[in-house]
A and B are shown apart, each in its own frame.
Chain A
């Protein structure tokens, strides 16, 4: 059975100009120990998905439909207090910017110990001891001394290691890592990702790795989901999606992944821009930019369907369309 099941998740933001649909019909699963990469441009809904899973959507955003299940138990409609017990204990979270994620007024040891005593049946002394162990585990040198340091006394990379320790210290089964390396110096991004990957593997923790960095995905994830305008447009095994993307958008996205040694900051530019949430076109949201667009794309919304080795939301792969296209010689 899968660890996390997200089914038809819909997140809405009521605004004065009507309701914005930030996530529309998002479904995916994560198996125990699996690393699911989630990629897409800024505003595609990657982080939103993570926030929705741990129940920390920013108001006025709210889950308007669908379900989130953890080990089969529905968690999206739990009362705040019950969900709180799950957060940290069952689902850890790693945020983007380690400079702002840690409370500046508490020592890192205190923050670790606090998390553990909250969730685990251990006393303060034991928590302190484990805090040191965790710091060692994430590679903080002289952990026994640094446990009493304040966050500002660490460098950015070291802080993100602390954040990783914080996310994992109550031994959750799933970690939602929201762009864990974006804010870091390029030179240490690889180290941090490696640490995260190894720790997850070691502890058997599943991971939802949100990033817009295809290189990270290619090296870390087992499977990958590509998001566009609040929808998953393609999902599949990482090798297949990277090498042989089905959706035209994914294909463009994967078009030029440079080798990790000299990675560029941004995704390859695709003509045009992602639509604003308030102006998502009917049919396939990608249709205004798609080189293969045809009439149906502008009218009818494609669901995920088998496409190449993956599943993609693209009419190109609808059997009837494939037939027609083949005949017309377009494909």
Chain B
């Protein structure tokens, strides 16, 4: 821990007010989302607590608002603040899981391709090339569609969240695989790896203990930058109506619903989730940018 605070990373962190601010914002977003069940003033999923009478309450500062609902309510009388917190929870959950999924997949396949070389390498990289040709959002749409078609609706609704995670995750692995493969190729020929091989360590443990640590920092950068993309991809899918199930509205779902009320004066139903989404993605992207620069000092 002490080593961390003494590191260059921490140093460059403390030197950048923008980064510190975005880290703070990201932290608040994540904390607010994770702790939503504890912190949120209402539980928007508890149908029994919804009062249609309270629908369309404007934010508290607009005069007609109600202190119980600081950011107002939507068309069902759901508290917007709570809905946003729970929505961010879903968005972040999908984003993180999708990134973890594509990172794991990409790193493993990249290591394999780079370390084993030969036919494995050729096949894996060819697949990655082909997939990179297609925009990830389309891949996600496709995967989502295939699963939707293959499974009965009731089953699908229960696993919809996983489907979205899988769809977004699967559409991003080639980036990781390519980076890791490149670094692995470099590391593989270094003396210490050769030496490890000579003393008879298994390829698996060589990769794990020697190659992996060296490729982690570019992977971390890509992962952070990808988190923003994953959250946006989920929002876009949900906006198109094929994302997470409506029973677990994400920020994208909230925006889609609120969009109907944009012109009618109930702007808060769409603007607040929109702002929350932008702030969240922006802070994550700022962190990613900083991380890339900090771990890549030559670029500075």
Contacts and interface: CB of A to CB of B under 8 A. Distances in A.
Do A and B contact each other directly (Cβ–Cβ < 8 Å)? yes
Interface of A: 16
How many B residues touch the partner, as a band?
under 10
A51 B11 CA distance: 29
Nearest to A17: B11
A16 B15 CA distance: 10
A16 B11 CA distance: 8
A73 to B, nearest CB: 34
A16 B12 CA distance: 9
A126 B11 CA distance: 55
Contacts, number: 3
Interface string B1-32: 00000001001000100000000000000000
A16 B7 CA distance: 11
Nearest to A58: B298
A168 B15 CA distance: 45
A16 B8 CA distance: 9
A16 B14 CA distance: 11
Interface of B: 8, 11, 15
Nearest to A16: B11
Nearest to B8: A16
A17 to B, nearest CB: 9
Nearest 3 A/B pairs, CB to CB: A16-B11, A16-B8, A16-B15
B85 to A, nearest CB: 38
3 contacts: A16-B8, A16-B11, A16-B15
Nearest to B11: A16
B9 to A, nearest CB: 11
Contacts of A16: 8, 11, 15
A296 B11 CA distance: 38
Nearest to A60: B300
A16 B294 CA distance: 13
A16 B300 CA distance: 14
A244 to B, nearest CB: 37
Contacts of B8: 16
Contacts of B15: 16
Nearest to A59: B300
A16 B9 CA distance: 11
Nearest to B14: A16
B174 to A, nearest CB: 25
A86 B171 CA distance: 53
B66 to A, nearest CB: 51
A16 B13 CA distance: 12
A112 B8 CA distance: 42
A11 B8 CA distance: 23
Contacts of B11: 16
A19 to B, nearest CB: 15
A297 B11 CA distance: 36
A151 to B, nearest CB: 22
A265 to B, nearest CB: 14
A16 B297 CA distance: 13
A84 B36 CA distance: 61
Nearest to B15: A16
B295 to A, nearest CB: 15
B300 to A, nearest CB: 9
B32 to A, nearest CB: 33
B14 to A, nearest CB: 10
B230 to A, nearest CB: 33
B232 to A, nearest CB: 34
A16 to B, nearest CB: 5
B21 to A, nearest CB: 21
A68 B11 CA distance: 35
A58 to B, nearest CB: 9
